[in-house]
Amino acid sequence: MGKVVAGVAIVCAAAACAAAAVTVSYRMRVRSQRHHARSFLLEFQEACATPVARLRQVVDAMAVEMHAGLVSEGGSRLKMLPSYVDQLPEGDEKGLYYAVDLGGTNFRALRVQLGGKESRVIKQEYEEVAIPPELMIGTSEELFDFIAKELTSFVAREGDDFQPSAGQSRDIGFTFSFPVQQTALNSGTLLNWTKGFKVVDAIGQDVVAALQRCIQKRGPEMRITALVNDAVGALAGGRYWNEDVMIAVILGTGTNAAYVERAQAISKCGSTFPKSGEMVINMEWGNFWSSHLPRTPVDETLDNETMNPGEQGFEKMISGMYLGDVVRRVLLKMAQEAALFGPNVPRKMLEAFSLGTPDISKIHADESSDLKVVGNVLRDVYGIQNTSLAVRKIVYEVCDTVAERGARLAAAGIVGILKKIGRDGTHSKDVGSPVHPESGKTVVAMDGGLYERYSKFRAYMQAAAAELLGDASKDVVIELSKDGSGIGAALLAASIAKNRRK
Ligand code: ADP
Ligand code: MG
């Protein structure tokens, strides 16, 4: 009997030792995997670093490329497209105007009743719908008919408090957030698609004529009087309220910038200067590229797998469509090479764009000590249960790294524009475009879902701009101009109508 007990005790002890050995070896493996993930993170962070010296190189490259793009067609990856907008709204516009805004994710229709200098915007209404994904890769007819259909039903719901002035038609400003070579204020041909759109037969078409045809078929009597890029719209929207607005930047699904340039500086336009001596330039800065941008192997694979490889390099590092996917790719590498989420790679993590930028902004906003929200997002998006705090910290830091890099590069881009127009504090007072004599300020109007809804991104961007501008930052205001891009198109349509009447 004693022998049996002893035998059982020995077996139990051996089993306990084996279990302990398995536990120790498991812990060691987990620790070593986490160590592997940490060193991968450090390497990625180094590759993404944007110290101020590097940002200054980006600032200079942006200013140089702007010059090059203004001198000759194809002189730079920055298209620097003349917008044909040579007069921005002044605040005294009156009447009823419409706008349609085709962004990268959403479509908006809006109407605004303007009351002139004193009462300004008397009333404004808008409707927003998500663009059906199949239309992003369908035919031109389907896409423009969708816009016409949405507009027609929106117009049908116009209330009595919206009134066109006597004898006036309903004018539309058309915000179209893709690269267009304009030939006049109300016409322009599509150069290429971005942001996951691929409606092949629309390339080379006049997008105004295409939309006008569809509107006519649907019935409402309306005409498109201004074709406006979203950044140009945001500039017009910002200027309507504040005459110091000189630059507008969109950070939404995609990214772009527009600014007021001296007409004489646009050498590629020859000597046909607008009367005002100024012209708004649609930079199409999403396609900006410089060897100083901190690009990692992850960015390279992302680029190769998009619909437009080799294009929109800046956009793919800073805009809402891509930030989430950069994070996903880093996490996937950590899952595959360091078993960050356990022995199996979450299947959904293999899917491109399965992690959105709103998810990373949610993770990034988590201030709790146990990073509960980070755990919830990983569970909800990828079905990963019971993540440890150490894993959550790594995920948080990946988001922080990607967002900080994007925000600081966006700031460098803005300072590049300020440098080009002589407002970055490094020029003598008589170079560049004149500063408003009373305020002495330069205002940058920001629009887009990423900037509006991602507070840490916004804070990183503001801080980097201040760092780069030094003393001059007291004269530069970077502020949100919510939905400026849509209402701006309606305001431009109003300003065109006003000038027509003059
Ligand atoms: P569009 O680009 O279609 O004109 P928006 O300007 O509204 O539309 O931008 C939408 C984009 O903004 C989304 O694709 C997403 O990338 C980003 N976004 C939306 N909400 C958030 C959020 N909470 N945090 C970070 N980014 C967001
Ligand atoms: Mg938009």
Q: How many percent of the chain have pLDDT more than 90? A: 83
Please name the residue whose Cα sits nearest to atom 19 of ligand 1: 449
Q: How far is the CA of 192 from the centre of ligand 2 (A)?
A: 17
Rounded Cα distance between 444 and 441, Å, is: 10
Alpha helices in 289-432 (DSSP H): 297-304, 315-318, 320-338, 357-364, 372-382, 389-420
**Is there an atom of ligand 1 within 6 Å of 196 CB?**
no
**Pocket perturbation via mutation, ligand 1, pick of 105, 127, 322, 359 by most ligand atoms within 8 A of CB:** 105
**Is there an atom of ligand 1 within 6 Å of 486 CB?**
no
Give yes or no for a contact between 251 and 410, defined as CB atoms under 8 angstroms apart: yes
Residue with tokens 């706008």: 99
User: CA 363, 365, 366, 369: dihedral to nearest 10 degrees?
Assistant: 140
Q: What does the pLDDT look like over 295-304, one tens digit per residue?
A: 999 999 999 9
Q: What is the DSSP string of 72-105?
A: STTSSSS--EE-S--S---S--EEEEEEEEE-SS
> In the predicted model, is pLDDT for residue 431 greater than 90?
no
Rounded Cα distance between 220 and 225, Å, is: 15
Q: Provide the mean pLDDT of the chain.
A: 93
**Is there an atom of ligand 1 within 6 Å of 253 CB?**
yes
- pLDDT-derived band at 8, boundaries 50, 70, 90: low
- pLDDT-derived band at 12, boundaries 50, 70, 90: low
- pLDDT-derived band at 32, boundaries 50, 70, 90: confident
**Is there an atom of ligand 1 within 6 Å of 320 CB?**
yes
Those residues whose beta carbon sits under 5 angstroms from the ion ligand 2 are 103, 230, 252, 485
Q: Read off the tokens for 173.
A: 């400003």
Q: How far is the CA of 178 from the centre of ligand 1 (A)?
A: 16
> In the predicted model, is pLDDT for residue 348 greater than 60?
yes
Q: How far is the CA of 226 from the centre of ligand 2 (A)?
A: 16
**Pocket perturbation via mutation, ligand 1, pick of 174, 450, 458 by most ligand atoms within 8 A of CB:** 450
Give yes or no for a contact between 133 and 144, defined as CB atoms under 8 angstroms apart: no
Q: Which residue has the higher pLDDT, 7 or 258?
A: 258
Sorted by sequence, the CB contacts under 8 Å of residue 431 that are 6+ apart come out as 422
**Is there an atom of ligand 1 within 6 Å of 406 CB?**
no
Residue 123 DSSP SS3: strand
Q: Mean pLDDT across the stretch 156-175?
A: 91
Sorted by sequence, the CB contacts under 8 Å of residue 397 that are 6+ apart come out as 41, 45
Please name the residue whose Cα sits nearest to atom 21 of ligand 1: 358
**Is there an atom of ligand 1 within 6 Å of 173 CB?**
no
**Is there an atom of ligand 1 within 6 Å of 456 CB?**
no
Rounded Cα distance between 101 and 487, Å, is: 9
Instruction: Tell me what pLDDT residue 230 has.
Output: 95
- Ligand 1 atom, smallest distance to 230 CA: 4
Give yes or no for a contact between 233 and 175, defined as CB atoms under 8 angstroms apart: yes
Bridge-based pairing state of the strands 94-102 and 245-251: unpaired
Nearest bound ligand to the CA of residue 452: 1
Residue with tokens 């105004």: 208
Nearest bound ligand to the CA of residue 232: 2
Sorted by sequence, the CB contacts under 8 Å of residue 30 that are 6+ apart come out as none
Q: How far is the CA of 103 from the centre of ligand 2 (A)?
A: 4
Q: What does the pLDDT look like over 51-73, one tens digit per residue?
A: 999 999 999 999 999 999 999 99
Give yes or no for a contact between 215 and 178, defined as CB atoms under 8 angstroms apart: no
Sorted by sequence, the CB contacts under 8 Å of residue 421 that are 6+ apart come out as 246, 247, 259, 260, 261, 432, 433, 442
| Element holding 261 (H helix, E strand) | strand 255-262
Q: Which residue has the higher pLDDT, 478 or 27?
A: 478
The whole-model pTM stands at 0.94
